[in-house]
Amino acid sequence: MNSRIDSLLRQTRPKPLSTTPLSSGLSAFDALLPEGIPAGQLTEFVGPDSSGKTSLLHRIIMRTQTRGTSVGYVDAERSLMPADWCTSAPGLLWVVRPPRPTEGAFCIEVLLRSCSFGLVILDGGPPLAPRLATRLQRMARHSAAALLLVRHGQRSSIRVAERIRFAGRPSVDGARVLMVREKNGPTTGVEACFTQRSWSSCTVHASGADRPQARSRVGARYGR
Amino acid sequence: MSPPVVAPAVVAPAGWRIACAYVPDFPLAVASRGLDVQAAELPTVLIRESGHQAMVQAANASALAIGIRAGQSASRARARWEGLRCLSWDAATFEAAQRALVTRLHEASPMVVPADGHLGVFWIDARGMRFFGGEPGLTERLLRLLNVEGYPQGRVAVADTAVVAQAASRWGETPCQIVPPGADQRFLSGLSLDALDLDAGLCSALAGLGIHTVAALQKLPHRALIERFGPHARQAIERAMAWDLRLPEGRRSPTLPEVALSLDPPVEQSARLIFGLRGLVERLAARLIAHGLSATRLTLCLRLDDHTESSEELEPARPLHHPRPLFELLRDRLERWRVGSPVVELVLKVGAAQPAVPEQAHLGAARWSPQALEGVLNRLHGRFGEEVVMIATPIDAHRPEGAGTWQPVETVPVGSLDWQPEPTEDRFGSTDPAAIHRILPEPAPITVRLDPEGQPVAVRWAGRWHSASTSGPERLSGDWWTDAPFAREDYRLHLDDGSTLWISRDARKPRGWWLRGWLD
């Protein structure tokens, strides 16, 4: 009887939260950070606007979801475009959009405290005070979640486990990005390329009624 | 997504069956008793005098047929028909008739109660009738007793809830209607809104929106309806969904719990209030569990030293009876509460509840749980309102910025975390990952230099001029069928520092340029 109860308990016991680092699946980034984004630690992405941070984040989030890991994303600047973030598993990506950028830290604290997210991202907002950053780092360690801070502009003064600096590279065929690992590694950078999708593929239906090719089809149908 | 947005405030306790006996135009029926058939068929009205006015309160079928209506003045009604029989309204007689009828109906069931505020409506406990012919036997006996008492027009119905029993007795196809157990909502969905006896203002507003049936009301988003129309809408939804705990005692049962904590001396610091709140929540949770209920609406009330009161209503993300999530929900609210005077009493009331759903035992105490996510929702909703935790949903639209929307997460969907990885790495079918947009809440004006052909060649961005190569234009137009048509040309500017901006200009007035966002 005891062995049956033991086996039942083993079956019903939840999987422990994964503490394996998160990878992006992007070869350039994985070469730069072979051990991935560390779980239970604080990582910082720094760079000016339009330097590829969000594109890489998107990649990491999609990759994290394939592991069945839930992601909490605090969009403190409220500037994400929803069409880019429609996933087949909306329950695995909660985007928190506080009314003011200063409230982002509170949201991060709530997400970390729940121990329900494997990756928690604070995107934008004012720089974290060192004491607050230390507390968040401790909570990330407790919940075994990877905590990622995204800074638009200059790097912050807080202590982080990893810091990646981003810079855009001139290009017309796609968005070329230079990524430099500033901590715990060589300061040389790697380049990655992100595709710039055509305008039509940004919408659900590429051939809407107001697009030239669709208009001609409608016209043909009605003999115009 | 179609779970009810508003958790049911109340539902009938399991196993209850309620009968409703209804005598149409009860005062008129009482006044006309004892008349022979010919006399009873004459146009007859009941006149009620208030002040200097005598008004028609009720009219029989013959009077209605000649155009006399309740609410008309007595003189106008008399002018309609010379031989109109006018009987005076006698409240004492009607009360006595009700009491006599209750006594008579007790022969069918031990619990018979006249409905508050409705003459001629009686609630009857319909449980435990299996040895007396079941519910058909009960309804048959009730009809017979009504007939014996002189009300052959009486109607009877049996249902799970009082609201449905009353509607079925009044609007049912036959004088004797039995709504099967569990079919209350379905029965109501076939009726018009009149069956719910709603507030007249709300009824006309709903009619203006094209909502004429209970089925249409059931399908409306409940929370939005309540936000627009207030408590009347809440009542309407409760009735339409057959969430009704009224029992034949004529009051709601079981009583919704309420706990209070007196603070002596009065407390000013929120930390001490929170300390007191913890014990209060545990007491409330114990009472909820004892009643087998989960709270769907709570009221936290602070009684202050200056004899005033400050209260706030909270709706948790899902029905709650565990003390911990209840405490988290209330603590967050209390932390931000600013009162002008010390608090002398802390009161916590359950405004609405529903039967608690049995839960799986917490084997292994999972850290990853809907309860934890529910705690996240409660804290964030409590602080920022409901439009804070979002999931992205695609929309069929032509403008890139409109091709998706942020949908608030209101409840923790069970099983939402079960997800099978997709075989493709990138949903856009590209080997390289796609660049992602950042958009401004509203397009901002931006300074652009153009070449002789009108194409942008330089732009002022981040405090300095940048030379730029261009891809575009993408011409978009549409919404000509609305008040806000659009026609614009979108460009992507690839700047010399590697940034890519998304700008546009209005194709109808191509003067100014607007920054919509950038690729990041």
DSSP per-residue letters across B335-384? HT---SS-EEEEEEEEEEEEEPPP----TT--SS-HHHHHHHHHHHHHHH
Among the partner residues B390, B425, B520, nearest to A53 by beta-carbon distance: B520
The 3-class secondary structure across chain A, one letter per residue, is CHHHHHHHHHHHCCCCCCCCCECCCCHHHHHHCCCCECCCCEEEEEECCCCCHHHHHHHHHHHHHHCCCCEEEEECCCCECHHHHCCCCHHHEEEECCCCHHHHHHHHHHHHHCCCCCEEEEECCCCCCHHHHHHHHHHHHHHCCEEEEEEECCCCCCCCCEEEEEEEECCCCCEEEEEEECCCCCCCEEEEEEECCCCHHHCCCCCCCCCHHHHHHHHHHCCC
Residue of A nearest to B489 (CA): A199
Distance CA B63, CA B74 (A): 12
What residues in A contact B396, CB-CB < 8 Å?
204-205
CB B22 within 8 A of CB B156: yes
pLDDT of residue B63: 84
Whether the pLDDT of residue B380 is over 90: the answer is no
Q: Quick one: average pLDDT of B59-72? A: 83
Whether the pLDDT of residue A171 is over 80: the answer is no
CB B157 within 8 A of CB B180: no
Q: Per the structure block, which two tokens stand in for B519? A: 């690729």
Determine the 3-state secondary structure of B194 from DSSP. helix
Q: Where are the beta strands (DSSP E) in B187-321?
A: 258-267, 293-304, 309-314
* Residue A49 to residue B421, Cβ atoms within 8 A: no
Stated as kind and residue range, the H or E segment containing B56 is strand B53-59
Sign of CA dihedral A65, A67, A68, A71: negative
Among the partner residues A82, A195, A196, nearest to B406 by beta-carbon distance: A82
Task: Pick the residue of B418, B464, B520 with the most A CBs within 10 A to test the interface with A by mutation.
Answer: B520
pLDDT of residue B371: 73
Among the partner residues A25, A59, A204, nearest to B394 by beta-carbon distance: A204
Residue range A92-107, pLDDT digits in tens? 888 999 999 999 999 9
pLDDT of residue A13: 44
Distance CA A11, CA A7 (A): 6
DSSP bridge partners of B44: B85
Task: Calculate the dihedral angle through the C-alpha atoms of A17, A55, A193, A178, rounding to the nearest 10 degrees.
Answer: -90
* Residue B438 to residue A99, Cβ atoms within 8 A: no
Using alpha carbons, list the distances in angstroms from residue A205 to B396, B453, B472. Answer: 7, 31, 19
Which residue, chain included where needed, has tokens 């966002």? B517
Residue range A9-64, pLDDT digits in tens? 555 444 444 456 677 777 888 888 888 888 888 999 988 888 888 988 888 888 88
Whether the pLDDT of residue B317 is over 80: the answer is no
Q: Quick one: average pLDDT of B53-71? A: 83
* Residue A54 to residue B520, Cβ atoms within 8 A: yes
Q: Quick one: average pLDDT of B131-157? A: 88
Q: Quick one: average pLDDT of B292-313? A: 84
* Residue B419 to residue A88, Cβ atoms within 8 A: yes
CB–CB contacts below 8 A, A to B: 250
Q: Per the structure block, which two tokens stand in for B475? A: 């011409």
Is some CB atom of chain A closer than 8 A to the CB atom of B324? no
What residues in B contact A57, CB-CB < 8 Å?
436
| Helix and strand element counts for chain B (H, E) | 15, 21
Q: N- to C-terminal Cα distance for chain A? A: 80
Is some CB atom of chain B closer than 8 A to the CB atom of A154? no
* Residue B3, number of CB atoms within 10 A of its CB: 9
* Residue B368 to residue A115, Cβ atoms within 8 A: yes
Q: How many residues does chain B have?
A: 520
Q: Quick one: average pLDDT of B423-427? A: 42
Q: N- to C-terminal Cα distance for chain B? A: 32
For residues B216 and B335, which has the higher predicted lDDT (pLDDT)? B216
Is some CB atom of chain A closer than 8 A to the CB atom of B478? yes
pLDDT of residue B65: 85
Interface of A with B in 121-150 (CB under 8 A): none
pLDDT of residue B249: 60
What residues in B contact A26, CB-CB < 8 Å?
433
* Residue B520 to residue A55, Cβ atoms within 8 A: yes
CB B390 within 8 A of CB A97: yes
Name the DSSP letter for residue B74: H
pLDDT of residue A203: 52
* Residue A50 to residue B519, Cβ atoms within 8 A: yes
* Residue B436 to residue A167, Cβ atoms within 8 A: no
Q: Is the ipTM of this complex over 0.85?
A: no
Name the DSSP letter for residue B467: E
Q: Quick one: average pLDDT of A55-81? A: 87
Is some CB atom of chain B closer than 8 A to the CB atom of A4? no
Distance CA B60, CA A50 (A): 79
Closest CA to A143 of B367, B177, B55, B163: B367
* Residue B499 to residue A49, Cβ atoms within 8 A: yes
Q: How many residues does chain A have?
A: 224
Backbone dihedral angles phi then psi of residue B143, each to the nearest 5 degrees: -65, -40
Residue of B nearest to A85 (CA): B392
Stated as kind and residue range, the H or E segment containing B334 is helix B323-335
CB B383 within 8 A of CB B308: no
Residue range B152-186, pLDDT digits in tens? 889 999 998 888 898 999 888 888 889 988 888 88
Distance CA B265, CA A210 (A): 70
What residues in A contact B507, CB-CB < 8 Å?
none
Residue A207 binned pLDDT confidence (cut-offs 50, 70, 90): very low
Is some CB atom of chain B closer than 8 A to the CB atom of A213? no
Q: How far is A105 from chain B (nearest CA, A)?
A: 12
B50's CB contacts (< 8 A; 6+ apart) are none
Q: How far is B275 from chain A (nearest CA, A)?
A: 20
Backbone dihedral angles phi then psi of residue A137, each to the nearest 5 degrees: -65, -40
Is some CB atom of chain A closer than 8 A to the CB atom of B492? yes
Residue B254, preceding peptide bond in cis (omega within 30° of 0): yes
Distance CA A89, CA B322 (A): 29
- Interhelix angle B231-240/B222-229, rounded to 10 degrees, is 140
CB A93 within 8 A of CB A71: yes
Interface of A with B in 23-62 (CB under 8 A): 25-26, 48-59, 62
DSSP bridge partners of A32: none
Residue range B448-507, pLDDT digits in tens? 888 888 888 888 887 888 888 888 788 888 888 888 888 888 888 888 888 888 898 887
Residue A148 binned pLDDT confidence (cut-offs 50, 70, 90): very high
